[in-house]
Amino acid sequence: MRDRIDAIAEAKTLVQAHYAALARATPDTVADTLAARMGDGAIWRGFHPFNLQTGPQAAAEVFWTPLLNAFSAVQRREDVFFAAHNHNDPDQDIWVVSMGHLMGLFDAPFVGIRPTRKIAMLRYAEFNRVVDGQIVETAMYCDLLHLMRQAGVVRFPDQTAAHLVQPGPRTHDGLLFGASDPAEGARTLAIIDSMVKAIDAANANPTALTPREEMQRNWHDDMLWWGPEGIGATYTIDRYIEQHQTPFRSGLSGRTFNGHVARLAEGNYGGFFGWPNLTLSVTGGFMGLPVTETRADMRVIDIYRRDGDKLAENWIFIDMLHFLLMQGIDVLGELA
C-alpha cells in the first residue's frame, strides 16, 4: 500500500511541475516545455478541432501555441486536483486529474473566435497518465462553446439550463495535493460506479423507476450539475430532471455506452473520460436542433464530488463541436 501511495505522490509532483513550467511558457518555448515531461509517443486527446495527436510537438502545434498566441497573461485557475490508479486498467496505471479554468486576456483570434481584449475563462478538465516519471497520455477537454458565448457568439437557444462561468466545489476542498485515505477514494468510486449502473438500468427499462427514484439512490436532493455550454448548469434533483435529463433522454435515443478510458477517485473526488463515451441517435431536436436520426458520438469528461454516501456536485465536459460536426453542423466553420 505504501508503494502505491508513494507512486501517486510522485505522479502528482510531476504534473504540478509540468503545470508550473507551462505557466512560464511562451508560444516559442511551449513545445520544449511539454517535451520535458511528455514522452515522444505520448497520446494527446482534445476536443474538436484539436482531436487526437501524438507527441508534445503535435500537442503544442494544435493547442498550446495557438492558445498562448491568442491569450495574454494566462493563469491556470485550478479548482480540483486529484490522482489515483485507473479502475478500468488491469495495469492500474496512475492518472492525475485537474479541472478549472485557463484565464487570460483574449487578445487575438483563437480557432476562429474573435478576441474581446477582455478577461476570458476557458473551462477545462485534464487527465494525465504517468508511467516511469513521464506523462504518456493526456485528455485535455475544454469548452469552446462557452468561450464563444463570452465573446458574444450564442449559437444555440437557452432552452435548457443556465449558462455562466462555473465555480469550483462548494466546499473549496478540491485540491488534493497531499495524500488521502484510500478508503475514502474507494467509497467515492463505488458511488460513481453505482450511478453509472443506474443510468444503464434506466436505459434498459425506462419505466422500472421514476427519474426521481433513480436519482435519489446516488444523489443528494440539492445536487449541483455543472453542464457544458449548449446544455448549461442546473441545481437540485427536480430541476436537473426538468432542465437536463428529460430533454436529453427525449431528444436522444439508441444510447450505446462505449466505455471509459479511465475511471478513478481519490478522497471525495472522482471522475472518468471516454473517447467517445457514448454514441446516440439524434431523434428529438436536442439543443433546439432539427431531428436528423444521425448517430453521433459524445466525448465526455465527468468530475464528481461526494458528500457522505451520495454525490453532491458534477462538472461535465462534452465535445459538442464534434457531436454537432457528425450531424453536419460545423460551428467553427460558421465563424469564418
pLDDT of residue 3: 83
One digit per residue, pLDDT tens: the chain, 336 residues? 668 889 999 999 999 999 999 999 999 999 999 999 999 999 999 999 999 999 999 999 999 999 999 999 999 999 999 999 999 887 789 999 999 999 999 999 999 999 999 999 999 999 999 999 999 999 999 999 999 999 999 888 776 778 889 999 999 999 999 999 999 999 999 999 999 999 989 988 988 999 999 999 999 999 999 999 989 999 999 999 999 999 999 889 898 999 999 999 999 999 999 999 999 998 887 887 888 888 999 999 999 999 999 999 999 999 999 999 999 999 999 998
Distance of CA 298 to the CA centre of its chain: 11
**What are the cell numbers at 135?**
506523462
Compute φ and ψ for 191, nearest 5 degrees. -70, -40
Report the distance separating Cα 147 and Cα 106, nearest Å: 10
Cis, bond preceding 49 (omega within 30 deg of 0): yes
Instruction: Count Cβ atoms within 10 A of the Cβ of residue 229 and give its class: 0-12 exposed, 13-18 middle, 19 or more buried.
Output: buried
pLDDT of residue 268: 98
What do you get for the CA distance between the two ends of the chain, in Å? 54
Distances (CA, A) of 81 to 20, 63, 95, 198, 203: 14, 22, 11, 27, 32
Pick the closest to residue 123 from 25, 232, 207, 220 (CA basis).
232
Report the distance separating Cα 59 and Cα 201, nearest Å: 38
Distances (CA, A) of 3 to 9, 43, 246: 10, 26, 46
Any idea of the CA torsion for 158, 161, 165, 169, to the nearest 10 degrees?
A: -170
Runs of H (alpha helix) within 90-236: 144-150, 182-204, 211-216
**Cα angle for residues 154, 122, 278 (degrees, 5° grid):** 75
Residue with cell 468510486: 189
- Sequence length of the chain is 336
With a threshold of 0.75, does the pTM exceed it? Answer: yes
**CB of 184 within 8 A of CB of 176?**
no
Domains and CATH numbers, the chain: 2-150 (3.10.450.50), 182-335 (3.10.450.50)
Residue with cell 440539492: 222
Residue with cell 457522505: 308
pLDDT of residue 4: 82
| Cα Rg of the chain, angstroms | 19
Distance of CA 276 to the CA centre of its chain: 12
**Close Cβ partners of 255 (under 8 Å, ≥ 6 residues apart):** 203, 278, 279, 280
**CB of 322 within 8 A of CB of 285?**
no
**CB of 59 within 8 A of CB of 53?**
yes
pLDDT of residue 119: 98
